[in-house]
Amino acid sequence: MTAKISDMDTSGGYEKAESTGKRSRVSGMDRALQVLDYLYETGSPAGIYAIAKAIGAPLSTVYVIIDDLVEKNMLSRNSDSTVWLGARLYHYGLAYARSLDFLNVANHEMHNLSRISGETVQVCGRDGDHMMVLAMADGPGHFQVTSRVGTRVPLNWTASGRLLVGHLPEKERLDLFEHCAKSSPTGRAVIDPSALSAAAGEALKARISIQAGESDYAVACVASPICDDKGVCIATISIVLAEQKIADNPDRYASEVKASADRIETIMGWRSHS
């Protein structure tokens, strides 16, 4: 008989614990979340052994959890026995997204800006030490952008990444960049914490940040912050385009993206911080 998460002692651990060695008791819910978090962070299907090793759980325990999550459609099992996030999680995500007025407003403005600029536009947020693409509208041209929704890159690689921490106190920005700044594939991303901290603060104050060729060759990004009523940068809206275009006409793209950020804040009632 296959055990279910409902059969677990969620107050302190599994009712059937392994007899060898003394283990700290972890709730069934916590273990399930560890499995889901691991798959989300790695971004690809994984085998049960790899998951158990990564989260430090007994193999038998992970088998029980995964069987139950697959049965509940929270995970899907592939033909090679690896597992991946299931359709039920997607439906939960859609329901959550629909409840957020901000994402609806930002999504509308993102598509409007893509039409006006003729370029790819992204809405990005912060995920710990990384910038993450939250939404994206492809431009009508042939220019291809490699980053898609869900892409995570170090904060120091992008124009948006700097804006997302620009509201933090200087000491906090310095500490953050000291441990998270990484060299980019092009070798052009700034990694000096002091320079990054100063650039982040200046960019937020100016409400514009531009980077070219730092994360990808020949790719540029011009971003503007979306700040709440307390001045906290909760997201950014940015135009992603060929590096040569921003070199030829930086003022045009900067003006367009700032206007879009301003409209989002105005609709959300957040302009009191200006």
The single residue listed with the structure tokens 């003022």 is: 251
* 100-273 CATH: 3.30.450.40
User: What whole-number distance in Å separates Cα of residue 211 and Cα of residue 261?
Assistant: 18
The matching CATH number, chosen from 3.40.980.10, 1.10.10.10, 3.30.360.10, 2.60.40.10, for 5-91 is: 1.10.10.10
- DSSP classification of residue 131: E
Q: Could you tell me how far CA 195 lies from the centroid of its own chain?
A: 24
Q: Are 76 and 86 in contact (CB under 8 A)?
A: yes
> Which of 2, 31, 37 minimizes the C-alpha distance to 14?
31
Q: End-to-end alpha-carbon separation of the chain, Å?
A: 62
Q: Tell me, yes or no, if the two domains 5-91 and 100-273 fold the same way.
A: no
Helix (H) or strand (E) holding 254: helix 250-268
Q: Could you tell me how far CA 227 lies from the centroid of its own chain?
A: 17
> Looking at the whole model, is its pTM more than 0.95?
no
pLDDT in tens, 119-159: 999 999 999 999 999 999 987 765 666 678 888 889 998 99
Reading the block at residue 187, the tokens are 């070798």
> What pLDDT was estimated at residue 2?
42
> Which of 138, 105, 108 minimizes the C-alpha distance to 122?
138
> What pLDDT was estimated at residue 18?
41
> What pLDDT was estimated at residue 245?
85
Burial class (CB within 10 angstroms; exposed 0-12, middle 13-18, buried 19+) of 133: buried
Rounded to the nearest 10°, the torsion over CA 93, 234, 217, 183 is -100
> What pLDDT was estimated at residue 98?
64
Domain ranges of the chain: 5-91, 100-273
- Give every residue of the chain whose pLDDT is below 50, as ranges: 1-23
Q: Could you tell me how far CA 210 lies from the centroid of its own chain?
A: 20
Using alpha carbons, list the distances in angstroms from residue 59 to 20, 22, 28, 234, 257. Answer: 13, 16, 14, 39, 50
How, if at all, do strands 209-212 and 219-227 pair?
antiparallel
One-letter amino acid at 97 equals A
Burial class (CB within 10 angstroms; exposed 0-12, middle 13-18, buried 19+) of 86: middle
The single residue listed with the structure tokens 């999550």 is: 69
